[in-house]
Each structure stands twice: as C-alpha cells, then as structure tokens.
Chain A
Amino acid sequence: MMKGIKKWRLFSLLTALMVILSGCGEKHLSTLNPAGQVGRDQLDLMLLSTGIMVLVIIVVLIVYVLAIVKFRRSKVGEDVIPKQVEGSHKLELIWTVVPIILLLILAVPTVVKTFDFADVSGMETVNEEGNKTAVTVNVEANLYWWEFEYPDLGIVTSQELVVPTQEKVYFNLIAADVKHSFWIPAAGGKMDTNVDNLNQFYLTFDDASDGLEEGVFYGKCAELCGPSHALMDFKVKSLDRDDFDAWVVKMQDSGAEQAVEGDVAQQGQDIFNKSCITCHAVSGAGTAGSVGPNLATFGDRNRVAGFMDHTEEDIKKWISNPKEYKPGNLMPQPEAINNGKKFTDQELTALTEYLMGLSVED
C-alpha cells in the first residue's frame, strides 16, 4: 500500500515536470520541443536524469529541513553538548550504494545513446543504381556564415539548410577559419566544426517546417568564434521527400541563365556582376569553398546575413555597411568593391531588386 502511494507520488511529480517542461519554449528553437528522433531521445534522457535528480534533491531537502528545524540551538537549549557521534558504517554504505544504483540507471541509456548517435554508417548505403540513399550535407562554418554543400546532388547553398523529413540526414562538419559549433536546438544536440578534422553525425526531422511560425527551424553557432558569434545564426527548412527532391532539381537547374525581370533588376544584376560576383555565386549547382555565401536562394530566405529581417530596407542597410551590423565579418565595405564609392540609393534599390529575385521556389 505504502509503496503504491510512493510510486503514485513519483509519477505525478514526473508528469508535472513534463507538463512544465513541454510547455516551454518556441517550437522552432527549444530543446524541449524536439522536432525529430535525436532530439526526442535527448529529451527523454533529460527527463530521466531530471527525475533521478529531483528524487535526490527531495531526499536531501527532507533530511536538511528536518535537521535545521529540529536541532537549532534555541530549541535544544543553550548549554547542551550534543553527543559526539563518530559516524555510521551502515549509513555510509547506504549513501554510497544507492547513488551508484541511481547512476547506473542513467549510465546505461547514456552509453547506448552515445554509440547510437555516433553511428553514421548509413551515410554510405547505396541503392541498386549505386546512388547514395541518404542525404549527406557538408557543412562548412565560416566566420559568421554557413555553407551547406550536398556532394551527392551537386548543389550548394548557404545560410538556409534544406533537409528531407522522416529520414536520417547526415552531416560532415568542418570549419574554414576558426572553430564553430553546429547546433539546431529543436532537432538535436550540437557538434563542433573543428578546423583540424571532419566531424560526422546525423539528425532527423519529423515534419515539414512550413507548419512553424516562420516556416523554419533556428540554427545557432554554439562556440565562441569572434565578435559576431552571437549573430552567426542559420535557418533550417525541412521538406517532405517529394518536395525536397523537387527543390534539389530546381537548385541543379538554377545554374542556367536566370531570367531577370524588369529594368531595375537588370541594372542590379549588372552591378552585382561587377562588384559582388567575385565572392558570391548565384547558381545553386556547384561545390563548396566559395569566399562568400552562395546566393542562389536569397529571395527564398528568412533572414539577411543570418539575423537581419528579410526586408528591402535591411538588405540595403547590410550592403551599405556590413562591418557595422556584423562586427569582424569579412564582407568588404562598398567602397572596396565599387571604385571607392558608396552605393547610391538607386544602386542599392537595383541590387535589392535583383537579389530578391534570386529564388528557386515558387
């Protein structure tokens, strides 16, 4: 009977805890609202460990509160000399063994999951035609921007990662300059992008992200990488497999001459081809390693420079003074690429018009 009551208490406690935890946070950003199996497993571990830990805290608190209430000097008397107890082997044994058991309960799933999450063997699986079945993304972290190359599909994009749902998406991670760390909190834990070596892991996404508030998951750089570390955000779009495949085809085709609509945009393209194209590619077909972010999907994006609003006004602000908005970033000031002059308002409008037209989505 007593045991039943205790169990019930623990259960209600865990339920309460889960309600509190799951009630928290934005769906596109919070580790408490996992978007896929990896994140879910990690949340389960979190709940398990939190449960065990809350249990420990409760035990400590009960002894603690009783002790400081019962044995205050005003209660036991001013001149009382307490019995000088040396210790108790039995108690020492209990509070050594019980924690060990509790830790084992946590250690087993920890070890299992550690190996699970490191298993990237599925990366190499091929179908009958010899094509890789899984999507692999080569992530290259650069000072304050992210490049995403799909080596098996021959496409490359930046700042906004696009992934298929309902399958493991594999990542090869590396940094181009200093160490960064690749983190999509809603999808699962982070992994560092080292300068020295390639790291590999995988994430999964259950549903297409268009149901989210802004239609994207938030990604973050989690390792201090310089002044604009805080601004090194990226976004993740998850698409159902069919949509993803369609997107891939469009990306592969974006290499063909894109129709530029209107005179203003045409002028923008001219300026772009004169000043910007050295660093920025506008074709999604290609490989990694460009100096600046690939802009093939610029018009489809959720942010400018990773963190500014995707509006014409902010694009102009960004182009005319990148150093101010993202301290320490490597994009040249306009004077350096436009014969020593700032861009005029008219030129900015043209560039903006052109950039906003760069799109592979409908």
Chain B
Amino acid sequence: MSSIAQKKGFGATLWDYLTTVDHKKIAILYLITGGLFFVIGGIEAMVIRIQLAQPDSDFVSAGLFNQMITMHGTTMIFLAAMPLLLGFMNAVMPLQIGARDVAFPFLNSLGFWLFFFGGIFLNLSWFMGGAPDAGWTSYASLALASPGHGIDFYTLGLLISGFGTLIGGINFLVTIINMRAPGMTYMRMPLFTWTTFVASALILFAFPPLTVGMVFMMVDRMFDGNFFDHTMGGNTIIWEHLFWIFGHPEVYILILPAFGIFSEIFATFSRKRLFGYSAMVFATVLIGFLGFMVWAHHMFTVGLGPTANAIFSVATMAIAVPTGVKIFNWLLTIWGGSIKFTVAMIYAVAFIPTFTAGGVTGIMLASAPLDYQLHDSYFVVAHFHYVIVGGVVLGLLAGLHYYWPLMFNTMLSEALGKWTFWLFFIGFHLTFFIQHFLGLLGMPRRVFTFGANQGWDLYNLISSIGAIGMALGVAVLVVNIIRTIVKNEKVGRDPWGDGRTLEWAVPQPVPFYNFKQTPLVRGLDTFWIEKQEGNKEGMTYAEPVGDIHMPNNSFIPVVISFGLFVAAFGALYNGEQPWAVPVLILGLVITFGAMIVRSLKDDHGYHVHKEDLMDEKGGKH
C-alpha cells in the first residue's frame, strides 16, 4: 500500500490530502499550514520591529501598525502555535499509545479544515478593507468603535477555527481515554500523551467562553446587540472576563504540550527515565487546574478591588510551585544521564534557563501592586515572549527536529539546525531581554511610535537588531527543510538510537494502519524496556495478526468547512451588500447539506485483510 502511495501524481496526492482521515497525514497538513502562518506572523513581527527601530519612525502608519500587532498576536497564537502543536499531537500521540488512529478520524479531518478555512478567512481581511486592529485581546470598547470590517473578520474567523480546535481537543480526550494499547495504564503514558490529555481538557473548558464572547461581539457589531455597550446597559468588562477565562488557560494549552515534548527529549537524549514521573504528571494536572483559577491577573488594573486582586495574586503565585517542580525534575533527569547534544536536545537545554527567566518575571507580574507598574508596559511584552517563544516556540523547534524522522523517515540537517538554533536563540534574547527594561523605563506596549530622548532609543534599536537574528534563524530552518525533502535520505526505525516510547517502535515508513498488531505495554518507556531485554523484534504484541478495520477517506470535512467560510462572507456584509443574505444562506446550505449527506450515507470503512498484512513488511525493519 505504502509503495503505491509514493508513485501517485500530484493531483492524486492533493486529492489524497484533501480527503485524508489518517492522523499522520492530518499532522502534516497542520504542520504545513501552521508553518505558513508562523512565517506570516513572523513577517508581521518584523514590520513591528522595523517601525520601532527608531523613534518617530513612519515606516508604517498608526492604523496599519495596530493591524500588524493584532494580526501578529492572533496569528501566532491561534493559527501558528496551536495548530503546530495539534500537528505534533496528531503525529505522535496515537502512535505513543499504540492506537490505530484517533477515536474519530472524520472529526479529526473536520477539525483541521475548520481551522484552515477560519485562518484563511481571518487573513483575507488584509485584502478586503483592513485587518482587525484592536489588539489580539480585542477589548470590547475599542473593538466596537473600530471602523471597517476588521473586527468582524476576527470574530468570524476565530469562531470557525475555534470550532476546529474544540473538535480536535474532544477527539484527543476520547482517544487517550479509550484507545490506549493493552498495558498502557494512565501512569504508564508518556509525558507528551499526558500533556496532550490535559491540554485537550483545557481546550474543552476554555474554548466555550471564547466562543460565547465572540458570538456576543458578533451580535453587537452586526445586529447592534448591547452585550458590551455600556450606554445601553451592557458592560465591557464582561468581555475582558470572557476573553481571559479563555485566554489564560490558552497559555497552558500552548505550554503544556511543549513541556511534554521537552520531557520526551530530555529522557531520550539523557538515556534516562524521566526523573519523578509521577510528580511530573501531578504537576501537569495541577497546572491545568490552577490555569483556570488565575485569569483575573490579566486584569489587576481594571479596578476589580483589592480582595479580588489579592486572591488572584496569591493563586497566580501558586502556579509557580508545580512549574518549579517540573524544572527541577528535568534538571534531575539529565543529572547522572548520558547527554547527547542533538539539535533537539540543544533546544531543550536552552529552554530551561529561558523559560525560568520567563517564569520568574511571571511571579513579579503576579504581585498585583507591582503589576500596576508593569501591566501593559514592555515588561509584559518581554515576559510573555519569554514564556511563549522561550517555551512554546523552542518546544516546537525541538519537536520539529525530534519528530521529523518519525513523520517523514528522513532527518533534518543537524549542522543547519545548529545554525538556526544559535541565530534564533541569540536573536531572541537580544530582542526580548532588553524589553524588560523598556517597560521599567516607562514604555507602554502597543505604541506605534515613540518620541526620541525618552531613554528608549538605543534599547529599541537593540531589540530590532535581535529580531533580524530570529528571522535569519527561521530562514535557515526553511532552507534546512527544503534540503532535507530534496535529499530524501531514509533513516528507518528508531533513528535516534535511544527512543524510549512506543512511537519509536513502529516500523518506518509508518504503515497507514500504524502497528500491524497492537503492542503490549509492559511499563513506562516500553520500547526502552524491550530493547534492554534484547527483544530482537523490538516489541511484544498483544494480539495475533488479524484483519484491520480502517475508515474511508472523505471529502465531506472540506465541504462542511468551506460552507461556513462562504457563510461568513455573507454574515460579514449583511446589510451592506445585496448579495450578502443569499451568500449566507448558500454557505449554510452547503454546510448543513454536507452534514446531512454524512449522516444519511452509511460509511462502514473497509478491512485490510490478514493475508495482505502477512505479505507486507511495512517498512525497513
């Protein structure tokens, strides 16, 4: 089967990816789309830094600058970081628990295409009258006052892509609860699976408030609803609560899977079991739980009163404890190990001090009276970039190098990888470390320009120079990826030699049905156990070879998502264009029509027969 797949023409491959329900291919789709949005968000970041390189600069206008910062934040969070993480979850998690696929392959595909069309819709705003310009937080009073359609693109785009993320989260939860291989108890799950599990639970609880907020905003803007209009009895602070009840867990939705990736990397390249596994699991769950208890620390200056501020201050500080537990457990994992500095490991090692720095500034911000000074200044900008770039993005880059052989059976160049690392890492610290001080020196965030001689000129220039380093690093990474694809040197199973968890036990290239026989899990780091016991085959299996039931590909997810994409244009131009309502109806007809087809048409999938499986080697091993 896999050999046939490789000989397909371009059209057939495209059709294959448009209709695929295979978690491994959906992972690749997430990676490509997320990578593309990452580059777009990066370009927006460069525009911001060019504008701020000098005082009183007029590289971009004030209005365009606000669109840049809004789209930079929104793109990086919703359209780059989260999809890239969902990509890794898709690629790795089912293999890591020895499952055939995720629980609902069709929904998996639907989740991706909703995200895809939502993201495209949001970005089309650039060409259709201007992007959203009220910041990625889109605070209600400003968002309601914003002229043009930017904010409408924001609400509708994020609604569509948010459904996709929610569907993805539910899917992973069900998968992890129900589809673990025999023997894989909860306390034998690799940490990446654990973090995927907790992050998915956070998605389940965090996205509904965002959706509610977005719907309120949409109704306010399109039909003059009064949820946030204070002159009509509405209240703008409610938006802030809804946004941050989503927004703070969102930070953990991003960082926990990155923690998971790092945990796997530390163990693998130290040749050592993760130190304090159960404490790590407990810390992950605790962070997830506390993540919902602290949203108001984004709102200390809103005037919630001293009682609320004090409670949220202390609650926020409490999160530092499980996070510290994690840092020390990672340190003790590499302590006494045998550390191999692959590019993935270099990222992981660089992550520890970087993220610690981001964490401690988080503690400073957690102190409400101190936050009055730091809030909405460049100190905050520095803090969250230390956490999100120093944590999430380093995790994504580490994961890219680490899991590339698993996904593509080739390996990214280590030499070029090190170039990327150093350029990106030095560039990053140059860009953001100095911003702490800009904040302390009184520079507010989200300013499109600043007057000369306020003591900020040099620091801003240094920050902008650092950004060039980051951009160059990403450019080298792109070269690295293209080179690796062109060279196409196969590396086979367990390419790192020290793979510990189940995903490295699967033959390469990974058969579309994953493990031919469901493996038997005999402990934490099950593949490592088998290798240490000298198991030639690499795994012990829980069942004899038998027929495998597989789902059929389907084009319906694309159609459902496309329908919503069309409907969104109708909604956007409602009351302005005569074609708006027909287009809205047309889009909904497409979506619901596709849903009806899906519901009424029985699709039982197909079976891969035992005899065919016996003939096939399914990879190099």
Chain A interface (Cβ < 8 Å from any Cβ of B): 21, 24-26, 29-32, 39, 41-42, 45-46, 49-50, 52-53, 56-57, 60-61, 63-64, 66-68, 71-73, 76-77, 80-88, 91-92, 95-96, 99-100, 103, 106-107, 110-111, 113-118, 173, 175, 177-179, 181, 183, 185-186, 188-192, 194-197, 199-200, 218, 220-231, 233, 307, 327-328
Contact = CB atoms under 8 A, between A and B. Distances in A.
A73 B317 contact: no
Nearest to A175: B141
B454 A26 contact: yes
Interface string B319-347: 01100110111011011111111000000
Interface stretch (B167-175, B193-201, B230-238, B543-551): B230-238
B373 interface: yes
22 contacts: A24-B437, A24-B440, A30-B442, A53-B360, A60-B352, A63-B328, A71-B335, A82-B270, A85-B273, A96-B321, A96-B324, A110-B370, A117-B369, A118-B309, A178-B141, A191-B303, A224-B446, A230-B450, A307-B451, A327-B61, A327-B62, A328-B63
A29 B441 contact: yes
Interface stretch (B275-283, B486-494, B594-602): B275-283
B139 to A, nearest CB: 6
Interface in B140-183: 141-142, 145
Interface string B225-256: 00000100001110000000000000000000
Given A82-B270, A197-B237, A233-B451, 15 more contacts: A45-B367, A45-B369, A46-B364, A71-B334, A85-B275, A103-B320, A106-B363, A110-B313, A111-B313, A114-B313, A181-B301, A188-B373, A189-B369, A224-B142, A230-B448
B370 A99 contact: no
Dominant SS among interface residues on chain A: mixed
Contact of B63 (A106, A175, A227): A227
A194 to B, nearest CB: 7
B15 interface: no
Nearest to A184: B442
Which 10 pairs across A and B sit closest by C-beta, in order of nearness? A189-B372, A230-B447, A185-B442, A53-B360, A87-B276, A227-B62, A199-B303, A118-B306, A113-B369, A178-B141
A64 B301 contact: no
B301 A95 contact: no
Given A99-B321, A118-B305, A224-B66, A42 B373 contact: yes
A49 B329 CA distance: 24
B314 interface: yes
B370 A45 contact: yes
Contacts of A222: 301, 375-377, 444-445
Dominant SS among interface residues on chain B: helix
B336 A85 contact: yes
Contacts of B235: 196
A32 to B, nearest CB: 6
B318 interface: yes
Contact of B236 (A46, A50, A194, A224): A194
B353 A192 contact: no
A63 B349 CA distance: 12
A179 B139 contact: yes
A166 B377 CA distance: 27
B524 to A, nearest CB: 9
Contact of A223 (B318, B324, B371, B376): B376
A190 B372 contact: yes
A73 B338 contact: yes
Contact of B314 (A63, A81, A91, A107): A107
B23 interface: no
A21 B364 CA distance: 15
* Highest count of chain A CB atoms <10 Å: which of B301, B309, B320: B301
B368 interface: yes
Interface residues on B, range: 35 or more
Contacts of A66: 335
Contacts of B613: none
A61 B350 CA distance: 11
A83 B337 CA distance: 8
B134 interface: yes
B441 to A, nearest CB: 4
B317 A103 contact: yes
Given A57-B356, A175-B141, A229-B447, A91 B368 contact: no
B277 A53 contact: no
Contacts of A113: 368-369
B230 A186 contact: no
Contacts of B134: 224
Contacts of B61: 227, 327
B356 A60 contact: yes
Given A95-B324, A110-B368, A178-B141, A56 B356 contact: yes
Contact of A194 (B145, B303, B335): B303
A80 B338 contact: yes
A49 B339 CA distance: 34
Contact of B237 (A45, A50, A196): A196
B301 A189 contact: yes
B440 A31 contact: yes
A42 B142 contact: no
Nearest to B341: A72
A191 B301 contact: yes
A42 B142 CA distance: 29
A46 B66 CA distance: 30
B236 A179 contact: yes
Given A110-B313, A115-B310, A327-B61, A29 B454 contact: yes
A53 B367 CA distance: 13
A307 B449 CA distance: 11
Contact of B276 (A77, A92, A229): A92
Given A57-B360, A60-B353, A103-B320, A95 B442 contact: no
Contacts of A26: 441-442, 454-455
A88 B66 CA distance: 50
Given A53-B360, A92-B279, A95-B328, A196 B444 contact: no
* Highest count of chain B CB atoms <10 Å: which of A31, A39, A83, A224: A224
Given A25-B442, A71-B337, A41 B369 contact: yes
A25 B310 CA distance: 30
Nearest to B360: A53
Contacts of B357: 57
Interface in B257-309: 270-273, 275-279, 301-303, 305-306, 309
Nearest to A108: B314
A110 B442 contact: no
B483 to A, nearest CB: 26
B243 to A, nearest CB: 13
B135 interface: yes
B426 to A, nearest CB: 18
A60 B309 CA distance: 30
Contacts of A46: 364, 370, 373, 440
B317 A114 contact: no
A324 B77 CA distance: 33
A50 B364 contact: yes
A81 B337 CA distance: 8
B312 to A, nearest CB: 10
A51 to B, nearest CB: 11
Interface string B568-579: 000000000000
* Highest count of chain A CB atoms <10 Å: which of B318, B332, B352, B373: B373
A220 B442 contact: yes
Contacts of A233: 451
Given A99-B320, A327-B63, A76 B301 contact: no
A50 B437 CA distance: 13
B360 A56 contact: yes
* Highest count of chain B CB atoms <10 Å: which of A21, A223, A327: A223
Given A107-B314, A179-B236, A190-B373, A67 B368 contact: no
A30 B141 CA distance: 29
B185 to A, nearest CB: 16
B230 A196 contact: yes
